[in-house]
Amino acid sequence: MFVRFIEQLKQRLQQPLPGENIQYRMAPVSRLQNKFLTPENYNPRKSAVMILLFPQDNTIKTLFIERPVYEGIHSGQVGFPGGKYEDDDVDLKQTALRETYEEVGVHPEKIEVIGQLTDLYINPSNFLVSPFIGYTNHVPNFIANEREVKKIVVYNLFDLNNKNLIAEKEIRFTDGFTSTTPYYEIEGLTVWGATAMMVSELNVVIEESKKIKNTN
């Protein structure tokens, strides 16, 4: 099952992506005003995250990390492993691999990157995030970086498309501003903002991948 689905997913990721229209299904109301910004208007910093897939318990899992509380924009939020592009990184794919190793202990050599989702701009921190999808054919021995990761949450990939996970509430941003925000409730945690928007696109890609006939 795992090998077959990964091949289908690879094929789907080579095709045009669902893009912003799907991402914005899970966008905070306050974010909609920034929908049509272009890179020359905001000169964003580059960053990348890794959506890591792996087989476990006869299905395919992925993981989220809950960040510790600190004095920063993304304090306490739930997301995928990742971070900002460093000058030593060859490209953003390396950024995603490096950050995954630093934050949850999965070595880059164990991960095959099979594609990426649509880049996503995060207005409060002025980051343009490239979400990569990678897989490893075994259950990783996760080692959380205590400084950057409060909790690792492993979740069934196919359960992310359960509409019962989606709710809406007022969320207070770090600047004190509040906004009505759709979110996914995963293992009691609130997954919202850019990560929820990535999951929205990921879910569409997953469902469309299942329909691809594997020719191998």
In a domain, 58, yes or no: yes
In a domain, 130, yes or no: yes
In a domain, 133, yes or no: yes
In a domain, 162, yes or no: yes
CB neighbours of residue 104 within 10 Å: 22
Tell me how many domains the chain contains. 1
Nearest Cα to Cα of residue 50 among 77, 28, 89, 83: 83
What torsion do the CA atoms of 44, 192, 66, 108 make, to the nearest 10 degrees?
-50
Q: Which residue matches tokens 């087989």?
A: 55
Nearest Cα to Cα of residue 153 among 185, 121, 112: 185
In a domain, 53, yes or no: yes
Average pLDDT of the residues in 187-192: 94
Give the mean pLDDT of the chain: 90
Residue 131 sits in a domain of what CATH number? 3.90.79.10
pTM of the model: 0.92
The domain containing residue 126 runs over which residues? 2-206
In a domain, 213, yes or no: no
d(CA 204, CA 200): 7
In a domain, 11, yes or no: yes
Read off the pLDDT of residues 112-146 as tens digits, 9 standing for 90 and up.
999 999 999 888 788 999 999 999 999 999 999 99
